[in-house]
Structure 1
């Protein structure tokens, strides 16, 4: 069963290469991309089921067991992230087959998407820091090309900002990794959690800050977030949706992993700093969203504000706090991806995402308004949707640790989030159409492949809200695993024997 851990990587690589070979055959590309995304989703479900039943799954590649060789590790947190990544990837790929123009498809859109998924899944499943760096670079290269594919001016400008800041993050990441290897002699997560307990805490404080900067840039944490709203609204909608759902969440995942497994020596310093960053991230993101008048720019700033809630739970370093981070991550990936896809439906029908040039959508397409309200209200935390449970968990965790100021900020930001969602509703859906109306809106027909993904993601949002006990239970168990480094070490370092793939 441990071999199941490698299959998301092998499948992503295989479909990336296959789709590159058939990239000039449009129908074949569409069929293979959907098959690949569906197979990845099925594998991810199987992996989570196995991890939930049998515990951590560990695979040592080649004849080199941990900590000497490459190790892949799937716990509940990483397996859940692989699954939710597969779900939104499936939705985005289905949507893309009816959206992306033939020229972008011929130049490699679908192979690049699966290359991106290779990097994302690799980051979730790797068991050591150096390979986490490698997977981040795979993800960065694929995402940069996707961002500028088509070479429109706005895309290139956004891409330059995106790659510049992410290269800076990579430099901090590599530097911190080198320092950590120099003082410990290992980069395996499990081995590091054992070795670092005897290291000078002042050196660990410095290394923790370096990793915090590196992953903070990639996650879009204050004050390192400004590249995100400058770039995420520029590419085609499927690319924006995929980025919004996944890329910053890999940065959050890395922060959770290192600040629960490696840097827990001085939480009064490291995690208090994270708490301050979380509060400022929530505030600056939501204020930025309120100042915007374009749907995708509003949604881009809300990526930033919602990242703050995830970091808030991590900063508390309690079972309930970490469970809130896991729950919030999963909820937000679904909701944010869907909001970008619905924003694309608006742009396709009405030719713009600018609120100044929209109006009366609910009268013309009431179903589109209803589709928008589900993820929008979930993002704002309206019951009984998944965002309500996510925010409630964060607030309860904050009150339990007497973090009253940060908790108050979380509540206020939730209200401002609702205000910005109502702003989109009022300006785009409810107010009268602009003078002269929308040109040729009646002639715009939606392909079923555009609507089906948004309905599926909306249904998932409703399910996670109305019947969210399963996700809540999974989040609590994942938090318990994150707070149990001894169990992680036992699984990886041999107390529980890992699967070894010979000749890898």
Structure 2
């Protein structure tokens, strides 16, 4: 059912005009409100460091439950919306959850819950005192708000919340490398935010609204040349935030700087909000722009798919190499967006979930590697298989999942993307997706060979036992190895039983490709105009 114009004499449902909002409908608020309230409370309790971790864990557990209930509600009943202050849309600030946004918000809460456990293996007294846990909660609030907002300006606000929290986490340790990474990260993200804000201004000037559902209704009435220019600005801004080629240099230059747990959160969550925003703007708000920009998206996706794993091969720092693997995953998602069919969006959604889980786990495992070897330089590592075989198995499992090798989790989304390309006879894109898998396998196994397989450090004595390896301390085993191991086990089992991921991805793709239910949930079914 196509959305052609703003309906005349729109009659909104009485529940949206009079009376209090049903308690069950507040479910959409809690994934954002809980971590935000928790962060505020922890800031006030900053002089009680012993409260920080238990309270943050409790808040995150409640947030995960709220996200799960929201996801099940959306799966069963369709999109759920709420407009703040009983101001009728498009004037009120709306939250809107469909299958795609609810899925991404749920996975984000799960990742943060695992990371908050891992944090206890490495957090320093100074970091705990200066707001480590509140910043993590604030970051999750920004991510969830970005996924669940139904308003373009508030999407900008949530990006700013994410930027503030991530900037704080980048510099909280006070090391020189963190300050260097923060400057690179901050400058390019501020630049992307500026482009986004300019695009928002143009959008409001053209259609007179920033409510996403209302934009989808009114955009067909706007002159095509103007709206294509706005779509190009949105694409530039969100491609920068997603770290797509050629605007991706900031990611490997900054993600290796903070603590491994922070790197894991960044890799798992932040770029995915950029991808989500690309999907929203180009398939919900301005769908006619997709054909106009399709060739450009294909070219960017192709370069990102190929150059990212090549960049990983050139790195000697393990976490910088992982940064390029994150970018390679963005290329796969961009390929799904370029194809643009329901099957392509299906592959995009499922690969995004895979990347969120797997890249988080990889950074956690590399954090443990750094703890044992005392460095992230793979030239100075080696022999870790002998010292900790479980860590080696976890690492190579995740490498295969990133590459998309069967039967691991990453295989199924790439299979769907390949199927989508074949359906559209886009064999060029199919070839690049497969080439990305091969190059990623080479880059990942190169890291594994240097870190685990080789006995000693690089040089003439590389076959001698690396005497600088230290066993993991008890704190790192309990709070580091176990949470990372449980996440890897979850990823492994999810690859063997992919049906839940397939179901989630299929419903998410349908929600994106046919926005009638989304618009109808915001305005009432009367707002969906008949062709």
- Give the TM-score category using the shorter length: over 0.9
TM-superposed deviation, 1:341: 0.1
Match of 2:18 in 1: none
SS in 2 for 1:72: strand
Residue-by-residue CA offset, 1:120-140 (whole Å, 9 max, x unaligned): 111010001011011111111
Measure how far apart 1:316 and its partner are: 1.2
**Are 1:468 and 2:491 an aligned pair?**
no
Partner secondary structure for residue 62 of structure 1:
helix
The one of 509, 514, 528 equivalent to 1:479 is: 509
Could you tell which deviates more after superposition, 155-164 or 454-463? 454-463
Aligned match for 1:110, one of 133, 138, 142: 133
Q: Which residue of 2 aligns with 1:489?
A: 519
Structure-to-structure mapping, 1:393-472, within 5 angstroms: 393-434=416-457, 435=461, 437-439=466-468, 441-442=470-471, 444-445=473-474, 446-472=476-502
Q: CA deviation at 1:440?
A: 5.7
Is the counterpart of residue 137 in structure 1 residue 160 in structure 2?
yes
Which residue number in structure 2 is paired with residue 154 of structure 1?
177
Give, in angstroms, the shift of residue 459 of structure 1.
2.0
1:246 and 1:333 in contact (8 A); partners too = yes
Q: What is the total number of aligned residue pairs between the two structures?
A: 497
User: 1: distance between equivalents of 2:352 and 2:120?
Assistant: 27
Q: How does 1:6-21 map to 2 (within 5 A)?
A: 6-21=29-44
Q: How far off is 1:110 after superposition?
A: 0.7
User: For 1:226 and 1:455, how far apart are their aligned partners in 2?
Assistant: 30
Deviation digits for residues 136-183 of structure 1 (CA, Å, limit 9, x no counterpart):
111111111111112211111110011111111111001000001001
1:295 to 312, 318, 326: 318
Which of 114, 117, 120 matches 2:143? 120
CA shift, 1:117, in A, is: 1.0
217-226 or 15-24, which moves further after superposition?
15-24
Q: Residues 166-223 of structure 1, C-alpha deviation per residue, up to 9 Å, x if partnerless?
A: 1111110010000010010001111101100111111111101100011111100111
Which residue is 2:261 aligned to?
Answer: 238
**Range 245-254 or range 149-158, more displaced:** 149-158
State the 1:20 CA deviation: 1.2
Aligned counterpart in structure 1 of residue 204 of structure 2, from 157, 181, 192: 181
The equivalent residue for 2:234 is 211
SS of the equivalent of 2:86 reads coil
CA 1:402 to 1:353, structure 2 compared with 1: closer, same or farther past 3 Å?
A: same
Superposed counterparts of 1:243-392, under 5 Å: 243-392=266-415
Q: Distance in 2 between matches of 1:443 and 1:63?
A: 54
TM-score under structure 1 normalisation? 0.96
User: Does structure 2 conserve the Cα–Cα contact (< 8 Å) formed by 1:374 and 1:461?
Assistant: no
Could you tell me whether the CA contact under 8 Å between 2:169 and 2:262 is conserved in 1? Answer: yes
Shift of 1:437: 2.2
Q: Deviations over 1:33-72 (max 9, x none)?
A: 1111211111111111111111111111112121110110
Report the CA distance shift for 1:443/1:274 in structure 2 as closer, same or farther (over 3 A).
Answer: closer
1:43 aligns with 2:73: no
- Correspondence for 1:500: none
Does the CA contact (< 8 Å) of 1:350 and 1:438 recur in 2? no
Runs of 4+ in 1 over 4 A off after TM superposition: none
For the pair 1:220 / 2:254, whether they are aligned, the reply is no
Q: Which runs of 5+ in 1 are unaligned?
A: 498-504
* TM superposition shift of 1:496: 7.7
Normalised TM-score (structure 2): 0.91
- CA deviation string 1:229-261 (max 9, x = no partner): 100000111110110101011100100111110
Counterpart mapping for 1:11-90 below 5 A: 11-90=34-113
Determine helix, strand or coil for the equivalent of 1:448.
helix
Q: CA deviation at 1:443?
A: 6.8
Q: Which moved more, 1:435-444 or 1:234-243?
A: 435-444
Whole-Å separation in 2 of the counterparts to 1:304 and 1:442: 32
SS at match of 2:455: coil
CA drift of 1:462 comes to 1.4
Q: Secondary structure of 1:346's partner?
A: helix
Compared CA separation, residues 496 and 294, structure 1 to 2 (3 A): farther
Q: 2:305 touches 2:436 (CA, 8 Å); kept in 1? A: yes
Which residue pairs with 2:225 in the alignment? 202
Q: Which residue of 1 aligns with 2:19?
A: none
Cα pair 1:309 1:328 within 8 Å, conserved? yes
Superposed CA RMSD in Å reads 1.4
2-structure distance, mates of 1:496, 1:76: 21
SS at match of 1:223: coil
In 2, Cα distance between equivalents of 1:379 and 1:226: 20
CA contact (8 A) 2:282 2:289 kept: no
C-alpha distance in 1, partners of 2:324/2:454? 23
